[in-house]
């Protein structure tokens, strides 16, 4: 194989969990040019990846259909030997299906999977990790069943966070897109109170997470807390997390960043469960959750509020 395209236009965590396919295809076909399609905003995750030839961007800002048609035309010219679509929604399926790739592989759940050369099962809830589900698409080529994801912070990224690397520091990423996947402020405070006073605590996230981080910092003034939310790029955050004494995250993107750097991590699973297949893959990883709660899980992605009004899946998590 000489030309390969991988498509994953979902969220940042999904892109990170697709990187093992890049690694395995590079191992199996070291001379192949591997391209990757992501939605606009996630391209920085794949910067500096030496195993990739080019990162394409699905930019809907000038019109979804205009961008989609433009990508299809471009991919047809590239004449890919293999097109792999890991996204399970229509637009990506259409791009893959009409790409004129010699082989078009993806999951059966995509509504345009009938356009694929071969389609595969994607079962959530049986304990299979998402990385394993992704790699199953290329098993026939000799791919291994499981591999840790990879990100590649640059030397510049490493230097940018060098001054933050104290003798002992912790990283906390307190936010999530979904309320029921996010540990409440009082539980984060409970956690912070278990950390050494002489250590430094960095609060990570995007610009939209600054308010939550400020609330958390105000609630814990006895500790040395610095808000870095909105100040670090994704790869700079990855570089900082790599050498942290420990990272504390929700079931969200930062969890997968920690896995990609093999960073020590504790992950809180509130309304969702690790059995869905999105747990940590670091060698030093721990999951904290409430076991045997009848209403858990209450959904695959989480909710804006607890459907039962009590949020026991978060409030009853034992920090120690």
- Encode pLDDT of 107-120 as tens digits: 999 999 999 999 99
Q: Is 201 in the same domain as 68?
A: no
User: How many beta carbons lie within 10 A of that of residue 135, not counting itself?
Assistant: 20
Confidence band (pLDDT; 50, 70, 90) for 62?
A: confident
Looking at the domain assignment, is residue 147 inside a domain?
no
pLDDT of residue 301: 87
Q: Is 129 in the same domain as 217?
A: no
- Which tens digit of pLDDT belongs to each residue from 202-219? 999 999 999 999 999 998
Looking at the domain assignment, is residue 60 inside a domain?
yes
Of 112, 141, 170, the residue at which a domain comes to its end is 141
pLDDT of residue 11: 92
What CATH number has the domain bearing residue 164? 3.40.50.2000
CB 14 within 8 A of CB 42: no
- Pick from 24, 33, 309, 31: which is nearest to 145 by CA? 24
Average pLDDT over residues 3-32: 97
pLDDT of residue 159: 97
Looking at the domain assignment, is residue 118 inside a domain?
yes
Cα(313)–Cα(110) distance, rounded to whole angstroms?
A: 31
CB-count burial class (<10 Å; 0-12, 13-18, 19+) for 132: middle
Q: Whole-structure pTM over 0.85, yes or no?
A: yes
Give the side-chain half-sphere CA count within 13 A for 308. Answer: 13
Give the side-chain half-sphere CA count within 13 A for 35. Answer: 20
CB-count burial class (<10 Å; 0-12, 13-18, 19+) for 26: middle
Confidence band (pLDDT; 50, 70, 90) for 61?
A: confident
Cα(293)–Cα(8) distance, rounded to whole angstroms?
A: 33
pLDDT of residue 300: 87
Of all helices (H) and strands (E), which one includes residue 313?
A: helix 312-315
Q: Is 99 in the same domain as 162?
A: no
Of 118, 141, 164, the residue at which a domain comes to its end is 141
pLDDT of residue 167: 84
Split into its structural domains, the chain has a count of: 2
| pLDDT for 101 beyond 80 | yes
User: How many beta carbons lie within 10 A of that of residue 35, not counting itself?
Assistant: 18
- Which tens digit of pLDDT belongs to each residue from 142-159? 999 999 999 999 999 999
Q: Is 163 in the same domain as 260?
A: yes
Name the residue range of residue 7's domain. Answer: 3-141
Looking at the domain assignment, is residue 224 inside a domain?
yes
Rg (CA), the chain: 20
| pLDDT for 286 beyond 90 | yes
| pLDDT for 320 beyond 80 | no
Of 117, 141, 165, the residue at which a domain comes to its end is 141
Cα(183)–Cα(248) distance, rounded to whole angstroms?
A: 10
Q: Is 78 in the same domain as 173?
A: no
Q: Is 69 in the same domain as 111?
A: yes
Label each residue of 176-231 as H, E or C.
CCCHHHCCCHHHHHHHHCCCCCCCEEEECCCHHHHHHHHHHHHCCCCCEEEECCCC
Cβ burial 157-170 (10 Å sphere, 16+ → b, else e): bbebbeebeeeebb
Average pLDDT over residues 68-79: 96
CB 298 within 8 A of CB 174: no
- Which tens digit of pLDDT belongs to each residue from 155-187? 999 999 999 998 899 999 999 999 999 999 999
pLDDT-above-90 percentage for the chain? 94
Looking at the domain assignment, is residue 320 inside a domain?
no
Question: Tokens representing 217?
Answer: 């910092």
Average pLDDT over residues 132-144: 97
pLDDT of residue 166: 81
- Indicate the average pLDDT of the chain: 96
């Amino acid at each position: 194989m000489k030309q390969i395209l991988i498509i994953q236009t979902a969220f940042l965590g999904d892109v990170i969990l697709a990187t093992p396919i890049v690694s395995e295809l590079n191992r199996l076909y070291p001379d192949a040019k591997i391209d990757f399609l992501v939605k606009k905003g996630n391209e920085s995750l794949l910067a500096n990846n030496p195993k990739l030839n080019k990162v394409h961007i699905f930019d809907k800002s000038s019109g979804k259909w205009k961008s989609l048609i433009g990508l299809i035309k471009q991919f047809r010219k590239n004449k890919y030997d293999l097109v792999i679509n890991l996204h399970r929604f229509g637009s990506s399926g259409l791009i893959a299906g009409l790409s004129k790739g010699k082989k078009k592989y993806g999951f059966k759940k995509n509504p345009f999977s009938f356009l694929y050369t071969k389609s595969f099962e994607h079962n959530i809830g049986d304990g299979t990790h998402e990385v394993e589900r992704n790699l199953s698409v290329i098993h026939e080529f000799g791919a291994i069943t499981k591999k840790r994801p990879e990100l590649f912070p640059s030397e510049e990224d490493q230097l940018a966070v060098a001054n933050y690397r104290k003798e002992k520091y912790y990283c906390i990423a307190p936010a999530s897109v979904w309320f029921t996947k996010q540990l409440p402020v009082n539980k984060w405070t409970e956690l912070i109170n278990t950390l050494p006073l002489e250590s430094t605590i960095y609060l990570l996230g995007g610009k939209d997470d600054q308010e939550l981080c400020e609330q958390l910092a105000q609630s814990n003034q006895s500790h040395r807390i610095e808000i870095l939310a909105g100040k670090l790029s994704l790869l700079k955050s990855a570089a900082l997390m790599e050498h942290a004494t420990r990272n504390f995250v929700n079931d969200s993107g930062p969890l997968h960043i920690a896995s990609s750097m093999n960073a020590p991590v504790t992950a809180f699973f509130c309304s969702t469960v690790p059995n869905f297949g999105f747990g940590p893959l670091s060698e030093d990883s721990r999951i904290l959750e409430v076991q045997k709660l009848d209403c858990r899980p209450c959904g695959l992605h989480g909710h804006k509020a607890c459907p039962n009004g009590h949020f026991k899946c978060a409030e009853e998590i034992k920090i120690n």
